[in-house]
Amino acid sequence: MDKEKSNFLTLRNKLFALYYEKKYKEALKVAEIAYENYKDKITETTFWLACFNSLLKKKDKTIKILNNALDNGIWWSPQLMISESDFDFIKKYKEFKEILERCRVFFEKAQSKAKPKCLLFHPEDFNSKKENKLFIAIHFRGSNAEEFEEYFKKSVLKRGYMLAVPQSSQIFTLNKFCWDNREIAKKEISNHYNEINNKYRLDEKETIIAGASQGGGLSLELALGENELHIKKFISIIPGIVDVSSYIPLLKSGVSKNIKGFIITGEKDFYFQKVKELYEEAQKLKLQCKFVSIKGMGHNIPENFEDYLNEALDFLK
């Protein structure tokens, strides 16, 4: 990951640490710095500005930020706006309802044109005539393939894997996507896998599927569940686990298929207890799995993620 992206990640992690501590004034200052310095992240940083102004009960400022963004073609899905508790203070006002309607127009137009895609990268020693290793990386909710590939490209290609980074067809906001409909998500990823498998000779026993947050939960489901993917290894990063019981049959299936996995989470992640319970169930069932909890980290990708990724790749050898 280049220095600029690393610096943005540092700011993002600092902002969310302040958010979880309810230090909204301090977090707003960080959001303002991010907004001024990372124009390519304006959809994300504008949303932060609006959220923190709403949390600080600044109605007019919040409405102005959102309308100015919409005037410049920056928008968010109506579902995100409605479900975002940070906007509870302004949801009762007609101005917010008008903003919702403006977002809906942008969203429906974008969704009507959205299609799944998959970025594919080859290692330097790639040879199409031999069996090749494949690493699939599933982006988190509210991201895209171009952003997500940066976390994996260097380490994965250096290890001799092809890197596939699917991008969902499900719109989250401007140029950001999600995997909310799991059936559509699994079908799209399976189609990408089959296309790659048909074009190249894959060493299926070496295929790894990874994902972060929503993508982390999806990587678990695709590796452990019954589907057409012949995947034996997974890396799940800050997975968004809500109902551990729903994963028990998948864990049992994973044991029968001799699946091996690596889970990375933060001890301050709001999903931490559920992820820990999931790992404990995996241990009871004797699933081959390693669990890494990062001290002080919330629902973020760690700044030194490359170190953890290399640890995971070593474990999954």
Question: Is a pLDDT exceeding 90 seen at residue 4?
Answer: no
Whether 270 and 136 map to the same domain: the answer is yes
Rounded to the nearest integer, the mean pLDDT of the chain is: 94
Question: Is a pLDDT exceeding 90 seen at residue 54?
Answer: yes
Where does the pLDDT of residue 74 fall: very low under 50, low under 70, confident under 90, or very high at 90 and above? very high
Whether 84 and 136 map to the same domain: the answer is no
Dist CA 42 CA 73 (whole Å): 11
Q: Which residues contact 289 (CB under 8 A, 6 or more apart)?
A: 260, 261, 262, 263, 279, 282, 283
Of 83, 113, 143, the last residue of a domain is: 113
pLDDT per position as a tens digit, 88-143: 999 999 999 999 999 999 999 999 999 999 999 999 988 887 889 999 999 999 99
pLDDT per position as a tens digit, 287-310: 999 999 999 898 989 889 999 999
Where does the pLDDT of residue 156 fall: very low under 50, low under 70, confident under 90, or very high at 90 and above? very high
**Quick one: pLDDT at residue 93?**
97
pLDDT per position as a tens digit, 157-213: 999 999 999 999 999 999 999 999 999 999 999 999 999 999 998 988 899 999 999
Whether 65 and 143 map to the same domain: the answer is no
Range of the domain at 242: 117-315
Q: Which residues contact 148 (CB under 8 A, 6 or more apart)?
A: 137, 138, 139, 140, 165, 212, 215
Question: Is a pLDDT exceeding 90 seen at residue 10?
Answer: no
Total domains present in the chain: 2
Whether 242 and 185 map to the same domain: the answer is yes
**Quick one: pLDDT at residue 5?**
56
Whether 68 and 127 map to the same domain: the answer is no
Average pLDDT over residues 260-282: 96
Of 92, 113, 134, the last residue of a domain is: 113
Of 56, 91, 113, the last residue of a domain is: 113
**Quick one: pLDDT at residue 274?**
97
Give 12 or 311, the one with higher predicted confidence. 311
Question: Is a pLDDT exceeding 70 seen at residue 14?
Answer: yes
**pTM of this prediction exceeds 0.75:** yes
